[in-house]
Structure 1
Amino acid sequence: MDNFSDMYERLHNRRFTVASNSQGLSGDGTIFRYFVDGEAITSTYQGGRIRVGNQVGRVTGTDTFELLFQCVTTEGELLAGWSRGEVSQNSSGRTTLHFVWGWLSGAEGGGESSYVELVD
């Protein structure tokens, strides 16, 4: 259960923006909001080239999780993929996420991306 409470503290109801994502569609203006319920993780995202998107996944370790994601782009594309994420913290104390991901439908390939927590 400790894995779940740690992930809850670091992700639940927190917003993230893209720090780097050279191969993906999310970028400047894309905002992700994560929610944690036990081992389950969900999120919504939109902005930039993403009209609307969501993710569902599960905690896999103290600082790791896996997700399935889907979105509709501003060009009307319907895309879906998978990702494995790791949670850490940067030098200013903000939560960071690093992903390895790939497309399952609507596109081919994959890559790596990093997000950083938005702090009000």
Structure 2
Amino acid sequence: MTPTFPQLGERLHNRRFAVTNNTHGLSGAGTVFHYLVEGDAISSTYKGGRIRLGMQVGRVTGVDTIELLFHCLTLDGELLSGWSRGKVGVDQTGRTILSFVWGWLSGAVGGGESSCVEVVENKRHA
């Protein structure tokens, strides 16, 4: 399937993102998301910080927007799930940034806003 919004897929596919801000959420410093994109379908795994294991599934909804459902198991053994709507952008250094509004569906109440930035690995050439 050909992506409806190929630029967005290229910004996310097989890339890792670190949390930079998360109000009222469990992911934070040390949590890393790894996204995969196939057409307009998005999936990811995440872990780190207070998250033992997490997964997301979602879809591209516009040229710079996505929506996701997520679930996770915390280090304390809590099983939680929720939804998020995100916007994909680029910072001044060219790294992809993600900004979300999200809410809990099960295991907790409330919601918040979060943001992530692409983790760029330094490649050294000998």
Normalised to the residue count of structure 1, the TM-score between the two structures is 0.97
- Alignment check: 8 A CA contact 1:7 1:36 kept: no
* Structure 1 SS opposite 2:6: helix
Aligned to 2:102: 101
- Share of identical aligned residues, percent? 66
Structure 2, unpaired ranges of 5+:
122-126
Aligned to 2:31: 30
- Alignment check: 8 A CA contact 2:3 2:39 kept: no
> Residue type of the partner of 1:102?
G
Would you say how many aligned residue pairs link Structure 1 and Structure 2?
120
TM-superposed deviation, 1:2: 5.9
- The C-alpha deviation readout for 1:89-118, integer Å capped at 9, x for no partner, is 011110000000000000000000000000
Normalised to the residue count of structure 2, the TM-score between the two structures is 0.93
> Residue type of the partner of 1:11?
L
Query: Superposition RMSD on alpha carbons, in Å?
Result: 1.0
> Residue type of the partner of 2:81?
A
Looking at structure 2, the residues matched to 83 and 68 of structure 1 have their Cα atoms a distance apart, in angstroms, of: 6
Looking at structure 2, the residues matched to 2 and 103 of structure 1 have their Cα atoms a distance apart, in angstroms, of: 29
